[in-house]
Structure 1
Amino acid sequence: MDEDLTMLIEPSRAGALLEIGVLDLDGDDPVAIHAMPLRGKFHRFL
């Protein structure tokens, strides 16, 4: 996986868990490139 890509697990405003992929999270201009409902393979990171 790209070292500049960070995967986050965050709740939506409605409380549903989402997986969000962000490029350059610690940089000056982070960009979300992926967002969808949390898949089972990521539940272990909760």
Structure 2
Amino acid sequence: MDDLTMNIGPAGDGTMLEIGVLDMEGDDPVVIHAMPLRPKFHRLLR
């Protein structure tokens, strides 16, 4: 999907999350994926 953006970072309580958003730059973005950060993405935090 070309219009899917994956974001990783901390929630308000510090829990690391991964959030997938469709059409993030558009007028009506939609979250389609949200879960605790999986180990395979930890390398992206460095």
Counterpart in the other structure of 1:16: 15
Q: CA RMSD in A?
A: 0.7
Return 5+ residue gaps in structure 1 as ranges.
none
Deviation at residue 42 of structure 1 after TM alignment: 0.7
Q: What percent of counterpart residues are identical? A: 69
Q: What TM-score do you get using the length of structure 2 for normalisation?
A: 0.89
Q: Count matched residues.
A: 45
Q: What TM-score do you get using the length of structure 1 for normalisation?
A: 0.89
- Partners of 2:24 and 2:37 lie apart in 1 by 19
Residues 1-37 of structure 1 show CA distances to partners (whole Å, capped at 9, x for unaligned) of x111110002111101100000001111111110000
Moved over 3 A (4+): none
Return 5+ residue gaps in structure 2 as ranges.
none
